[in-house]
Amino acid sequence: MAAAQPIKVVALCGSLRRASYNRGLVRAATEICNESIKDVQIEYVDISPLPFLNTDLEVNGTYPPEVEGFRQKIRQADSIFFAAPENNYSVSAPLKNAIDWASRPPNVWADKAAAVVTAGGGSPRAQYHLRQIGVFLDLHFINKPEFFLNAFQPPQKFDSDGNLIDADSKERLKQLLFSLRAFTLRLQGKAE
């Protein structure tokens, strides 16, 4: 009997800063899956090379190479893991730009499971706005557990390189990843 295909998760970080706490959550999620959730494979996809959305760049139904490569990664994924910092009560400009490129016809977000995490001051506004955007995209977010991490409240959650070091936060992140795994399988009509 053949082994089941691993669940392919694309991880996107709305912060472009190398040592951002949100990027640290992506690294921690990847480590957790490598150690504890072996049938889930997370691939971090860098959104910084994407040009600003400009439909003048669409020529005869094609997209610039970096956009098409990004769209293919989303298309091939089973689910999406968003690390979404909050900017002015909303998602960051780089993340919104990536979302918009992948929503151009044909929308490659549709019918995928998704999870969202946020590190920073702990505000839920960006997550809730991203969930609203997901309704239009036909992107299905897990409801529980929610993951907001106030990175500035003791005890220290991240090291100086932006790596998650707090054991309780890692455990909460692990539970979110198990939930994403289960929801992805359910959307695909596969039993656990």
Domains of the chain: 7-187 (3.40.50.360)
Q: Are strands 147-150 and 113-120 parallel, antiparallel or unpaired?
A: parallel
pLDDT of residue 137: 97
Q: Are strands 113-120 and 79-83 parallel, antiparallel or unpaired?
A: parallel
Mean pLDDT of 74-96: 96
What is the per-residue burial (b if ≥16 Cβ within 10 Å, else e) of 3-32? eeeebebbbbbbbeeeebbbbbbbbbbbeb
pLDDT of residue 3: 54
pLDDT of residue 192: 64
Tell me the two tokens of residue 67: 């956009």
Cβ atoms of residues 85 and 92 within 8 Å: yes
Nearest in space to 108 (alpha carbons), one of 69, 51, 143: 69
Can you give the pTM of this predicted structure? Answer: 0.96
In angstroms, the CA 56 to CA 104 distance is 13
Q: Using CB atoms within 10 Å of the CB of residue 44, give its burial: 0 to 12 exposed, 13 to 18 middle, 19+ buried.
A: middle
Q: What is the mean pLDDT of the chain?
A: 94
pLDDT 10s digits, 61-73: 899 999 999 999 9
Cβ atoms of residues 182 and 173 within 8 Å: no
Q: Which one is predicted more confidently, 5 or 142?
A: 142
